[in-house]
């Protein structure tokens, strides 16, 4: 079968290079790393009978990222079978449950999440593993996957793709510099400069947005704008470089006089106003926040809060009713269905938020995507909790991006309130069509 496909010049050699067992593909946003890895795997599966395992930390995130990307490329190549077809001698069959691609020659691409480790135990005969967003998985997960990579005859390949984070991440220690053990595997500056390097059987490939000729100028401008509200994210998104991360979770947080906030909020449609609630009692708090989103400019306004503990549901419901919260939809923590049921029976419009493995990390990143987060001067507890909020570090100094130095109840309330709103993720806006 002859395949003709236009690719980014930066990835021409990478697509056909299978000389190394470990292949690292990292860099900035929108460089087309994922697209070309998926294309590389498809071409290999057409050429040889292979069993490929595609991994992300959270299974829930695979369908709209990796799986859809494979489907898109197969469709572009004209070899994706019609939906519902169970077998074909010339086209690739796509199965959505469980997510699988079956090639005419018997090759298979299967998809799993590390949040369901038991599903990995039964997998065998895998000769290629692609770990997407490798910086998000735990080092123990990586070691487990290395053990899953085994085949009696085929060459073995582990492909890892990610955007650099901070230097405490396991990917930096494993493939670049382990400061604790004083081991230098590869100086990252060398890879940034030379772009493609091979050392000790490991293939390093670095790329950035300007390597992707298919990106629109508007996307490049949006990446450039990140430097105005999150310098750490800009270093990662634009330059694709490691570094020392800043301490604050929300560097774009600002405080504004209440009257000025209300003036801004009054001009925002009711469709972009949200209310979230986190439950608490003894040491934690019942936290309710009212928010408004300037969708065009990606600004989040927090303009009202309720924050009390040692209050029963009856007492809290009475106070919230007096404050007018019965008149709006409240999205609350789904882990307390009994409390939600009580509020609903008491006349509140309350719904549970969506939760899944990895949702804490996903919600944190959603809030970080706002270019500015404006807190009303009246919301003293929200400001108190969020102004110095930092990521938690473990005993080894590794940063946990879904844990914090305190238990920020107002942050949780913000997560829940924004449950039905999606902030455009600049990282994934270009995934389609080589982005």
166-215 pLDDT, tens digit per residue, is 888 899 999 999 988 899 999 999 999 999 999 999 999 999 999 999 99
How far is 225 from 315, CA to CA, in rounded Å? 46
Residue 430 has pLDDT above 80, yes or no: no
Residue 110 has pLDDT above 50, yes or no: yes
Per-residue pLDDT of 288-332, as tens digits, reads 999 999 999 999 999 999 999 999 999 999 999 999 999 999 999
Amino acid 245: pLDDT: 64
| Mean pLDDT of all residues in 347-361 | 91
Per-residue pLDDT of 118-158, as tens digits, reads 667 778 899 999 999 999 888 989 999 998 899 999 999 99
How far is 290 from 435, CA to CA, in rounded Å? 36
How far is 290 from 323, CA to CA, in rounded Å? 12
How far is 72 from 116, CA to CA, in rounded Å? 26
Q: Say if CB 386 and CB 414 are below 8 A apart.
A: no
Q: What structural domains does the chain harbor?
A: 9-228 (3.40.50.300), 253-417 (3.30.420.280)
| Mean pLDDT of all residues in 266-272 | 96
Half-sphere exposure of 90 (CA within 13 A, CB side): 5
Per-residue pLDDT of 209-250, as tens digits, reads 999 999 999 999 999 998 888 888 899 999 999 986 666 899
Amino acid 352: pLDDT: 97
Residue 356 has pLDDT above 60, yes or no: yes
Query: Is the Cα torsion angle 9, 10, 15, 20 positive or negative in sign?
Result: positive
Rounded (to 5) percent helix, strand, coil in the chain: 35, 25, 40
- Residue of 136 and 430 predicted with greater confidence: 136
**Three-state DSSP class for 360?**
helix
**Least confident window among 14-28, 129-143, 386-400, 404-418:** 386-400
Question: Residue 243 gets which letter from DSSP?
Answer: B
- Spatial CB neighbours of 76, under 8 Å, sequence gap ≥ 6: 5
pTM to 2 decimal places: 0.80
Amino acid 223: pLDDT: 92
Per-residue pLDDT of 52-109, as tens digits, reads 999 998 888 898 899 999 999 999 999 999 887 777 788 999 999 899 999 999 999 9
Amino acid 313: pLDDT: 93
Amino acid 2: pLDDT: 65
Amino acid 244: pLDDT: 66
Amino acid 289: pLDDT: 98
Q: Is 186 exposed, middle or buried (0-12, 13-18, 19+ CB in 10 A)?
A: middle
Residue 280 has pLDDT above 70, yes or no: yes
Per-residue pLDDT of 20-58, as tens digits, reads 999 999 999 999 999 999 999 999 999 999 999 999 988
Residue 275 has pLDDT above 50, yes or no: yes
If pLDDT is split at 50, 70 and 90, which confidence band does 433 have? very low
- Residue of 270 and 118 predicted with greater confidence: 270
Amino acid 432: pLDDT: 45
């Amino acid at each position: 079968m002859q395949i003709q496909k236009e690719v980014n010049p930066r990835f021409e050699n990478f697509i056909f290079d299978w000389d190394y067992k470990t292949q690292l593909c990292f860099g900035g946003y929108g460089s087309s790393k994922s697209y070309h890895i998926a294309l590389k795997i498809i071409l290999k599966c057409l050429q040889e009978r292979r069993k490929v395992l595609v991994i992300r930390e959270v299974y829930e995130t695979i369908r709209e990222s990796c799986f859809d990307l494979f489907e898109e490329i197969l469709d572009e190549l004209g070899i994706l079978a019609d939906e519902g077809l169970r077998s074909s001698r010339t086209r690739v069959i796509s199965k959505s449950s469980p997510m699988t691609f079956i090639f005419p020659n018997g090759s298979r691409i299967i998809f799993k999440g590390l949040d369901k480790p038991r599903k990995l135990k039964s997998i065998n005969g895998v000769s290629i593993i692609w770990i997407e967003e490798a910086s998000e998985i735990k080092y123990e997960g990586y070691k487990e996957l290395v053990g899953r990579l085994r085949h009696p005859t085929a060459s073995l390949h582990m492909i890892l793709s990610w955007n650099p984070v901070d230097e405490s991440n396991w990917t930096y220690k494993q493939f670049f510099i382990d400061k604790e053990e004083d081991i230098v595997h590869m100086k990252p500056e060398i890879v940034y400069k030379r772009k493609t390097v091979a050392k000790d059987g490991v293939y390093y490939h670095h790329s950035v947005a300007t390597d992707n000729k298919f990106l629109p100028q508007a996307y490049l401008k949006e990446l450039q704008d990140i430097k105005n509200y999150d310098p750490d994210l800009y270093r990662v998104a634009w330059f694709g470089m490691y570094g020392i991360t800043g301490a604050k979770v929300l560097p774009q947080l600002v405080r504004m006089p209440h009257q000025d906030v209300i003036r801004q909020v009054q001009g925002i449609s009711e469709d972009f106003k949200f209310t979230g609630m986190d439950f608490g009692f003894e040491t934690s708090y019942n936290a309710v926040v009212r928010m408004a989103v300037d969708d065009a400019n990606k600004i989040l306004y927090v303009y009202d809060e309720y924050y009390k503990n040692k209050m029963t549901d009856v007492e809290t419901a009475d106070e919230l009713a007096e404050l007018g919260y019965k008149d709006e939809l409240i999205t609350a923590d789904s882990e307390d269905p009994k409390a939600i049921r009580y509020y609903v029976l008491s006349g509140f419009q309350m719904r549970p938020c969506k939760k899944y493995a990895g949702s804490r990390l996903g919600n944190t990143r959603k809030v970080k995507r706002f270019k500015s987060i404006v807190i009303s001067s009246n919301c003293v507890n929200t400001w108190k909790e969020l102004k110095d909020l930092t990521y938690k570090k473990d005993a080894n100094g590794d940063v946990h991006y879904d844990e914090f130095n305190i238990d920020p109840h107002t942050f949780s309330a913000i997560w829940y309130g924004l449950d039905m709103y999606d902030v455009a993720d600049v990282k994934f806006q270009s995934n389609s069509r080589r982005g």
